[in-house]
């Protein structure tokens, strides 16, 4: 079975998936099945192996990894079973996003501009970074990996993202102008190719950015989120997505195209990741409920 696992991993990697965790899990499962003298996927064996996970979530993840593998190899060999993916009944819980208001984002940028020392690049770096995250919805990892050559007249070239894909993120004229102003101050101070650098000219490390952002939240008096949850840089990406959906054009066909465009712009590998924002925000859910109710009660097309 191990050779089949290797073939499956190779195919998925060719499609752009890293498969690091899947490789570990599937090789473990193959060894477990081989010890039982089995050369094909058997439902009970898959469940027994998955049950070795220490938590319901991990057991569910282990079984789903085998299920994806089984669906692939059953195409050529029907002797493999397809285990029930929901055997453990786990449900993935996504953390509710915090949606920053325009005023909160402006206060964060103003706080960044007050960072010391005033003569250094630091204040401009963080103000530009926060503004860019807010208006583009980039992942923080994507922003920190940006290089000067990635800034084109058509937008930002986002290379080898979370799912090993490259995409182009167009910029509004005001965002492009703000980035250009930052680069004019930044370029004489550093020969590094990264866009965002520290005062020593080296690329900004994530842990430094996170710590500084936490300080800016306190200085700008932003947060905490409901329930005392800590605010995150990633919530700027959530904010962008929700605002984009709120600006969605009226009409089922047009809004559907808008959703596909947003998924492509944000680099989602699956459009369901984009649809999640509909249910993650109360006012968007109210809109969905109102349209659904009108359709069910009056037979109107959404």
Active site positions, annotated: 139, 162, 234, 237, 268, 277
Closest CA to 86 of 63, 58, 54: 63
Q: How many Å apart are CA 79 and CA 72, to the nearest integer?
A: 12
Of 280, 262, 282, residue with least CA distance to 271 = 262
The total of other beta-carbon atoms located within 10 Å of residue 222's CB is 19
For tokens 């080898």, what's the residue? 160
Whole-number Cα distances in Å, 297 to 13, 156, 196, 284, 289: 48, 46, 53, 20, 12
In terms of Cα–Cα distance, which of 179, 107, 95 is closest to 136? 179
CA gap 208, 198 in Å, rounded: 10
CB 80 within 8 A of CB 74: yes
* Bridge partner list, 197: 203
Q: What distance in Å separates the CA atoms of residue 189 and residue 121, rounded to the nearest whole number?
A: 8
Distance CA 29, CA 8 (A): 14
**3-class DSSP assignment, residue 212:** helix
Residue that has been written with the tokens 């195409």 in this structure:
75
Number of residues assigned to the chain: 302
| Alpha carbon 186 to chain centroid, angstroms | 28
Does residue 134 contact residue 239 with C-beta atoms inside 8 Å?
yes
């Amino acid at each position: 079975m191990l050779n089949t696992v290797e073939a499956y991993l190779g195919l998925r990697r060719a499609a752009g998936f890293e498969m690091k965790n899947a490789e570990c899990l599937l090789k473990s499962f193959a060894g477990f099945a081989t010890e039982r003298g089995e050369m094909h996927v058997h439902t009970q064996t898959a469940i027994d192996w998955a049950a070795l996970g220490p938590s319901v979530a991990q057991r569910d993840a282990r079984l789903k990894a085998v299920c994806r593998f089984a669906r692939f190899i059953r195409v050529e060999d029907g002797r493999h079973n397809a285990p029930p993916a929901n055997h453990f009944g786990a449900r993935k819980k996504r953390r509710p996003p915090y949606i920053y208001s325009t005023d909160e984002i402006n206060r964060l940028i103003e706080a960044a501009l007050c960072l010391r020392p005033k003569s250094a690049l630091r204040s401009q770096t963080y103000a530009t970074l926060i503004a860019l995250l807010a208006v583009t919805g980039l992942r923080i990892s994507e922003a920190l990996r940006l290089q000067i050559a990635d800034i084109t007249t058509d937008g930002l070239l986002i290379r080898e993202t979370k799912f090993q894909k490259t995409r182009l993120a167009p910029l509004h004229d005001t965002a492009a102008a703000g980035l250009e102003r930052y680069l004019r101050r930044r370029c004489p101070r550093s020969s590094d190719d990264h866009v965002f650098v520290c005062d020593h000219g080296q690329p900004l490390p994530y842990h430094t950015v996170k710590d500084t952002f936490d300080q800016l939240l306190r200085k700008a008096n932003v947060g905490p989120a409901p329930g005392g949850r800590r605010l995150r840089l990633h919530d700027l990406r959530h904010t962008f997505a929700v605002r984009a959906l709120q600006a969605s054009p009226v009409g089922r066909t047009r809004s559907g195209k808008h959703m596909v465009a947003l998924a492509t712009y944000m680099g989602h590998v699956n459009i369901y990741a984009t649809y999640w924002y509909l249910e993650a925000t109360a006012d968007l859910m109210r809109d969905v409920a109102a349209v659904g109710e009108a359709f069910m009660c009056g037979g109107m097309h959404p």
